[in-house]
Structure 1
Amino acid sequence: MKLYNLKNYCEQVNFLQAVKMGLGKNQGLFFPVDLPIIPKKQLKQIIEMDFLSRSVKILSMLIGSEISISDLEKYVRQAFSFPGPNIVPVTKNISCCELFHGPTLAFKDFGARFMAQIISHLNIENNIITILTATSGDTGAAVARAFYEYKNVRVVILYPKGKISTLQEALFCTLGKNITTIAIDGSFDECQALVKQAFNDHQLRHDTGLNSANSINISRLLAQICYFFEAYALISKEQRKKLVIAVPCGNFGNLTAGLLAKSMGLPIQSFIAATNANDTVPRFLKTGKWKPYDCISTISNAMDISRPNNWPRVEELFSRKKWKLTTLGFGSVSDAITEQTLLKLQNIGYTSEPHAAVAYQLLQNQLKEDEFGLFLGTAHPSKFKNVIDNILNINIPLPETLKAPSELPILSHYMKPNFKKLKHFLTSE
Structure 2
Amino acid sequence: MSAAVRYLSTRGGAPAAGLSQAIAAGLAPDGGLYVPEQLPQHDPAAFAPAGSLADTAATLLAPFFAGDPLAAELPAICAEALDFPVPLRPLTRPDAQVLELFHGPTAAFKDVGARFLAACMRRLPRADGRPLTILVATSGDTGAAVGAAFHHQPGVEVVILYPDGRVSPRQAHQLGSFGDNVQALAVAGRFDDCQRMVKAALNDAALQAGRPLSSANSISLGRLLPQMSYYAHAALGWWREHGTPLDFIVPTGNLGNALAAVWVRAMGLPVGRVMLACNANATLPEFFAGQDYAPREALATIANAMDVGAPSNFERLRWTYPDATELRRVLSARSVDDATIRATVLRHAADEGELFCPHTATALHLLDQLPPRTDGGAWAVVATAHPAKFETVLEPLLGRPVPVPPSLAAMLARPARAAPLAAEDEALRTWLRAPAERLSLSA
TM-score by structure 2 length? 0.92
Change (3 A) 1:297 1:397: same
Contact 1:58-1:226 within 8 A present in 2 as well: yes
> Do 1:86 and 1:97's aligned partners in 2 also have CA atoms closer than 8 Å?
yes
1:144 pairs with 135, 144, 147, which one?
147
AA aligned to 2:31 is Q
Which range is displaced more, 32-41 or 236-245? 236-245
User: What RMSD in Å do the two structures reach over aligned CA positions?
Assistant: 2.0
Deviations 1:86-133 (A, max 9, x none): 434242111110000000111111100110111111135443100011
Q: Match of 1:275?
A: 278
Check whether the contact 2:248–2:380 (CA below 8 A) recurs between aligned residues: yes
Task: Report if aligned partners of 1:90, 1:350 keep a CA contact under 8 Å in 2.
Answer: no
Equivalent pair of 1:87/1:234 in contact (CA under 8 Å): no
Counterpart of 1:39 in structure 2 is 43
- Bigger Cα displacement from structure 2, 289-298 vs 62-71: 62-71
Change (3 A) 1:293 1:424: closer
Match of 2:267 in 1: 264
What is the SS of the residue equivalent to 2:229? helix
Matched to 2:65, the amino acid is I
Partner residue in 2 for 1:364: 368
Question: Structure 2: how far apart are the matches of 1:165 and 1:215?
Answer: 20
In 2, Cα distance between equivalents of 1:268 and 1:81 = 23
Query: Residue in 2 aligned with 1:424?
Result: 430
Question: Can you list the C-alpha shifts for 1:313-368, whole angstroms capped at 9, x where unaligned?
Answer: 11211238994422312100000000111011112222111000001111332455
Determine which of 22, 25, 32 is the counterpart of 2:26: 22
1:138-177 superposed matches below 5 A: 138-177=141-180
**Deviation >4 Å, runs of 4+:** 236-240, 320-323
Could you tell me how far apart the structure 2 residues matched to 1:18 and 1:36 are?
A: 17
1:220-299 equivalent positions in 2, closer than 5 A: 220-235=223-238, 237=240, 241-299=244-302
Contact 1:48 1:233 in 2 (8 A): no
Whole-angstrom distance in 2 between the partners of 1:71 and 1:183: 36
Match of 2:358 among 342, 350, 354: 354
Deviation at 1:10, TM superposition (A): 5.5
The residue that corresponds to 1:8 in the other structure is 12
Identity %: 33
SS of 2:257's partner is: helix
SS in 2 for 1:49: coil
Retained in 2: the 8 A contact 1:145–1:172?
A: no
Q: What is the CA distance between 1:7 and its match in structure 2? A: 0.8
Cα separation, 1, equivalents of 2:354 and 2:204: 47
Structure-2 residue corresponding to 1:387? 393
Q: Secondary structure at the match of 2:15?
A: strand
2:271 alignment partner, SS class: coil
Tell me how far 1:198 sits from its aligned partner: 0.6
C-alpha distance in structure 1 between counterparts of 2:234 and 2:185, whole Å: 35
Whole-angstrom CA distance in 1 between matches of 2:44 and 2:177: 48
Secondary structure of the residue aligned to 2:30 is helix
Rounded to whole Å, the distance in 1 between the matches of 2:108 and 2:391 is 14
Range 314-323 or range 281-290, more displaced: 314-323
Structure 1 partner of 2:411: 405
Partner of 1:135 in structure 2? Answer: 138
Query: SS of 1:235's equivalent?
Result: helix
Is 1:75 paired with 2:77? yes
- Separation in structure 2 between the aligned mates of residue 299 and residue 283 of structure 1, nearest angstrom: 20
3-state SS of the aligned residue for 1:91?
Answer: coil
Range 309-318 or range 58-67, more displaced: 58-67
Deviation at 1:16, TM superposition (A): 0.7
- Matched residues in 2 for 1:133 and 1:96: separation? 29
Distance in structure 2 (CA, Å) of the matches to 1:61 and 1:182: 37
Separation of aligned partners in 2, 1:14 and 1:294? 34
Deviation by residue 1:215-247 (Cα, 9 ceiling, x = unmatched): 000111001011101112343656552532011
Secondary structure at 1:351 match in 2? coil
Q: CA contact under 8 A between 1:85 and 1:230: conserved in structure 2? A: no
Equivalent in the alignment of 1:53 = 55
How many residues are aligned here?
A: 427
Residue-by-residue CA offset, 1:20-57 (whole Å, 9 max, x unaligned): 11111331011110211113543xx4454322212111
In 2, distance between residues paired with 1:330 and 1:283?
Answer: 8
CA contact (8 A) 1:132 1:157 kept: yes
Going from structure 1 to structure 2, the CA distance change for 1:69 and 1:189 (only over 3 Å counts) comes to closer
Pairwise CA distance, 1:264 = 1.1
Give the distance between the partners of 1:40 and 1:411, measured in 2 at CA.
47
Q: Aligned partners of 1:284, 1:68: CA distance in 2, in Å?
A: 38
Which stretch of structure 1 is more off in the superposition, 83-92 or 260-269? Answer: 83-92
> Match of 1:87?
89
1:209 corresponds to which residue?
212
2:306 maps to which residue?
303
> Which structure: greater helix fraction?
1
The CA distance in 2 between the partners of 1:50 and 1:82, in whole Å, is: 10
Match of 1:424, SS state, is helix
Cα distance in 2 between the residues matched to 1:32 and 1:367: 38
Task: Note the C-alpha offset of 1:195.
Answer: 0.6
Q: Deviations over 1:160-192 (max 9, x none)?
A: 001111111122202110011100000000111
Are 1:244 and 1:367, in contact at CA under 8 Å, matched by a contact in 2?
A: no
Contact (CA 8 Å) 1:87, 1:235: kept in 2 or not?
no
Q: Secondary structure at the match of 1:169?
A: helix
Give secondary structure in 1 for the equivalent of 2:139: coil
The CA distance in 2 between the partners of 1:47 and 1:365, in whole Å, is 34
Deviation at 1:72, TM superposition (A): 1.3
